[in-house]
Amino acid sequence: MRNTRQRAAILTVLRETESHPTADWIFQEVRKALPQISLGTVYRTLEMLAQEGVVRELDFGPRKRHYDGSPGKHAHVVCLACGRIADVDAPLSPELSRSVSETTGFQIMEQRTEWYGYCPDCTAAHV
Ligand SMILES: [Zn+2]
Ligand SMILES: [Zn+2]
């Protein structure tokens, strides 16, 4: 029962943001609704939700794991300066997967695409 409430609270936080937050950020937000929740519980619950395919885990290296409340397939663009992660709504070309399959002999099940650059807020300072 308690577990269900924690799970629901974590999902609500994730679904209400488009920022692809880290577990620490989610923890700070969930704590406003459930002050007793621990960071360990947040980590475990996120892991479970990711395994079930309810949320998506985005791994950008050690201690850079982010969570995505929309599990559907979509690509991301990541800011090199502030670390902001945004969804890319442009459709991914299926031809790319097909040519990877043809040249490697792999049967492609999933394609993960990330672009890196500077977001509108950081462009002025870095380009
Ligand atoms: Zn930025
Ligand atoms: Zn996303």
Q: Ligand 1 center to residue 116 CA distance, Å?
A: 10
Q: Across the chain, which distance is largest between two alpha carbons, in Å? A: 53
- pLDDT greater at residue 1 or residue 21: 21
- Percent helix, strand, coil in the chain (nearest 5)? 45, 15, 40
Predicted pLDDT at 1: 44
At residue 2, the pLDDT reads 56
pLDDT tens per residue, range 24-60: 999 999 999 999 999 999 999 999 999 999 999 998 7
Q: pLDDT tens-digit profile of 109-118?
A: 888 888 999 9
For ligand 1, the distance from its centroid to the CA atom of residue 8, given in whole angstroms, is 30
Distance 125 CA to ligand 2 centre (A): 25
Alpha carbon distance 97, 62 (integer Å): 27
Cβ atoms of 118 and 80 within 8 Å: the answer is: yes
